[in-house]
Copies of this chain bind each other. A is one copy, B any other.
Amino acid sequence: MTFKTTVAAVAAAACTLLALPASAQFAKAEEAIKYRQGSLFVIGQHFGRIGAMVNGKLPFDAKAAQDNADIVAAMAALPWAGFGPGTDKGAPHKAKPAVWSEQAKFNEHAQTFQTEAGKLAAAARTGKLDQIKAAFGPAAQSCKSCHDAFRNR
């Protein structure tokens, strides 16, 4: 099984899960909220380490960039299952009601991020900072545009 296949398999699994009611995946809404917050936080940490290299705040380390990008790509499919029906309440969170009222748009953002994360991991495998920079921009933009539309500050 290639890495790409693994990412695709995890993505497919997450899509399957998305189609189920939250109750089928999480014992209660609180768990779904902790799950999405936890997975997004872990993704954000690894994504941020690539960003620090892209922005010159950390020296470029091709292996570290690839490791971090692989983790981001492998996890990019996960958080969305935690936004199922009925998970707008149950624990403190920053998700706007639009996540549930504009679900198609939200899912589109989630899909864009997964696509960009895959491209970033592919770029990181070249070991070239300029390729990573080129892929990092659109990936970071996909985070920002979703946060702007669907996350309270």
- Which residues of A are at the interface with B, using a C-beta cutoff of 8 A? 1-3, 5-6, 9-10, 12-13, 16, 25-26, 31, 34-35, 37-39, 41-42, 45, 49, 63-64, 66-68, 70-71, 74-75, 78
Contact = CB atoms under 8 A, between A and B. Distances in A.
Contacts of A3: 1-3, 5-6
A6 B6 contact: yes
Chain A, interface SS category: helix
Contacts of A38: 34, 37-39, 41-42
Given A6-B70, A67-B10, A74-B6, A41 B34 contact: yes
Contact of A45 (B1, B26, B70, B75): B26
A132 to B, nearest CB: 16
A10 to B, nearest CB: 6
29 contacts: A1-B2, A1-B3, A3-B6, A6-B6, A6-B70, A9-B66, A9-B67, A10-B70, A10-B71, A12-B67, A13-B63, A13-B67, A13-B68, A13-B70, A13-B71, A16-B67, A25-B45, A25-B49, A26-B45, A34-B38, A34-B41, A35-B45, A37-B38, A38-B42, A39-B42, A42-B42, A42-B78, A74-B74, A75-B75
A16 B63 CA distance: 11
Contacts of A2: 1-3
A5 B1 CA distance: 10
Q: Which of A5, A16, A45 has the most CB of B within 10 A?
A: A45
